Amino acid sequence: MSDIITLKEEEIRSAVDMDYNREVLYYKDLSLFLEKFKQNFRSVDCVSCQSNNHNTLSEKDGFTFRKCNECETVFISPRPDPKALQWWYSRSEHVNHFTGIFEKTADKRMLIYKDRLEKMRSRMSGPIQSVLEIGCGPCVFLGLMKEIWREPKITGIDINPEAVRLAKEKGIHCLKFSAEEFAQKKDSEYYDLIIAFEMLEHVYDPFSLIKAVLKLLEKDGKIYMTLPNYLSYDFLQIGDVYRNLFGPTHLNYYNPFSIMKLLERGGYSGIEIFCDGVLDTAIVGNYHSEKKMKLEGFWKYIYDNKDKNSSFLIDYQKLLQKHTLSGNMTVVARRP
């Protein structure tokens, strides 16, 4: 298995595309979105542990980010309801543009996807004959799986019609459903493995989602998720200016403790958590060099001389992974 991927952020997130997407399309869509739906936003308690002991962390772009004092989950509340989110993911130019970025950078991302597939296969036990990916986007990962891991029957679901169209062009069996809708279908199959990459942070009711997934799993079947880790170097170092901290696309920000609480509450067992993030130091370095944040002292020296300190930054990324402090988590859990 590979040790660590060394990758530059700009290789998978074109600066021109990201700036245009973020600064123009995002705010254009957001203005219309808030005008149409803000009056129907709903207040919620902690999406991980249900605690009502939470405080305002920050206000950004018309959204209130709150932090649970029990499990340290960060979540948007009040939040847009499912009808509003359906509009955002099916109608906004921002989302379709971002889907296009994923297509354009698919070759660069393939290094990450191959490593992800290798790790996923190593963490599975027993035969995997059927795989469902929820929130599959244009099915770049399922396309790779179809090519390399040929045994399982694969299916993808997504609520974005453009993503479904692109997936079908690749010859992937892909349907326009949310996980909750798919679980309610009378003819739904059961799966040995259900994948949810960068999915759980997007949904209005994460508990309903993981319960729906549980219904779709075979006995001893597994859910395999990746999601941002809020208690990580990139999130905590960059702070509110981080473009990963934005609504309504991201509603929920977990950490290793809080995601375990959520899954235990949902009836899962055998929960394992890994920190596979590889971009923390690259992202922090870019925010510093672009003057989107200000570093002082030690970290200013490191990033002002990042070529000289490249070995240190590689070793530091490994340390973040080892201590579950990198910005991306992988979570595996089993249906008893």
Q: What is the pLDDT of residue 173?
A: 93
pTM, 2 dp: 0.88
Q: Which of 1-15, 90-104, 291-305 is the most confident on average?
A: 291-305
More confident residue, 269 or 11: 269
pLDDT confidence bin for 113, thresholds 50/70/90: confident
CB 189 within 8 A of CB 182: no
Residue type for 148, please?
A: I
- Which runs of consecutive H residues, i.e. helices, occur in 51-92? 82-91
From the centroid of its chain, how far is CA 127?
26
User: Cα dist. 218→97, 131, 213, 215 in Å?
Assistant: 36, 11, 10, 8
* Mean pLDDT value of segment 308-332: 96
pLDDT of residue 186: 62
pLDDT in tens, 85-101: 989 988 888 776 666 66
Burial label for 90, CB within 10 Å (0-12, 13-18, 19+), is middle
Q: Measure the CA–CA gap between 243 and 32, rounded to whole angstroms.
A: 20
Nearest of 192, 163, 230 to residue 334 by alpha carbon: 192
> Over 80: is that where the pLDDT of 3 sits?
no
HSE value, Cβ hemisphere, 13 Å, CA-based, for 178: 19
Whether residue 20 has pLDDT greater than 80:
no
**What is the per-residue pLDDT for 90?**
82
pLDDT at 26 over 90: no
Segment of 77-91, 166-180, 252-266 carrying the highest mean pLDDT: 252-266
For the packed helices 280-289 and 310-322, what is the interaxial angle rounded to 10 degrees?
130
Of the listed ranges 10-24, 37-51, 102-116, 193-207, the least confidently predicted one is 10-24
The residues, ordered by sequence, that sit 6+ positions from 222 with a Cβ below 8 Å of its Cβ are 124, 192, 193, 194, 332, 333, 334, 335
Q: Examine the pLDDT at 2 and tell me if it is beyond 50.
A: no
- Give residue-wise pLDDT tens across range 153-172: 999 999 888 889 989 998 99
How many CB atoms lie under 10 A from the CB of residue 277? 24
| pLDDT at residue 239 is higher than 90 | yes
74-76/63-68 β-pairing: antiparallel
Tens of pLDDT, residue by residue over 201-224, are 999 999 999 999 999 999 999 999
First-to-last alpha carbon distance for the chain, in angstroms, is: 28
What are the structural domains, with CATH classification, of the chain?
Answer: 9-13+106-334 (3.40.50.150)
Is 21's pLDDT higher than 80? no
Beta strands in 61-190 (DSSP E): 63-68, 74-76, 130-134, 153-158, 174-176
Q: At what angle do helices 280-289 and 297-304 cross, to 10 degrees?
A: 90
Burial 103-112 (b: 16+ CB within 10 A, else e): eebbeebebb
The pLDDT of residue 17: 44
Q: Tell me the pLDDT of the chain averaged across its residues.
A: 89
pLDDT value at position 295?
A: 95
The pLDDT-based confidence of 19 (bands split at 50, 70, 90) is very low
The proportion of the chain whose per-residue pLDDT surpasses 90, expressed as a percent, equals 70
Write down the pLDDT at residue 104. Answer: 65
In a 3-state reduction of DSSP, which class is residue 112? helix
How many whole angstroms separate alpha carbon 159 and alpha carbon 296? 43
